[in-house]
Amino acid sequence: MIEQARRLAAALEAVPEEPTSHRLCQDCHERPVAYRGLGICRRCYLRRERHSTPYYQGQCRRPGCPKPGRGRSGYCRGHYQQGWHRAYRWRRLFGRQFGTSLSVSEIRAGLLEATATTPQAAQALLVLGTMLQEMERGAITLAKSPWAGRR
């Protein structure tokens, strides 16, 4: 039995160790292993030390997208950027056209506080608030005609 243990130990020592550059982190599957005992890279080790949430592993959360998801959102890079630009598009547009830094929801909240003196003004405020809500949801878009300056 002792002889078997010696042969097994000698066989394990004879096996060349795989270089760390060929092994990938078991958490993110992207970077080479820095901490062999844990099998993780430096970034995942520091995240573990901070007790923060691990990166999402799997496909993009947008249905039908085959790309791998990243970060806490779980979206691929393209869909994450698309969502970010969609969220801040109206704020940039209002800042450029009207010189305000208010978002659509802040403008809608301001309209709800406005008082109308006539029934027609009350209906106009209601329609404008609904329109802003649909704009924020993405059901209504405003587009500037590319032909306006060419005529």
d(Cα 98, Cα 18) in Å, to the nearest integer?
62
* Secondary structure (3-state) at 88: helix
Task: List the domain boundaries for the chain.
Answer: 2-50, 56-100, 102-141
d(Cα 107, Cα 132) in Å, to the nearest integer?
8
**pLDDT of 18 strictly over 70:** no
* Secondary structure (3-state) at 78: helix
What pTM value is reported for the model?
A: 0.41
What is the percent of the chain where pLDDT is above 90?
Answer: 7
pLDDT of residue 119: 84
Read off the pLDDT band of 37 (50, 70, 90).
confident
Neighbours of 75 (CB within 10 A): 21
d(Cα 110, Cα 98) in Å, to the nearest integer?
16
Read off the pLDDT band of 64 (50, 70, 90).
very high
d(Cα 55, Cα 71) in Å, to the nearest integer?
5
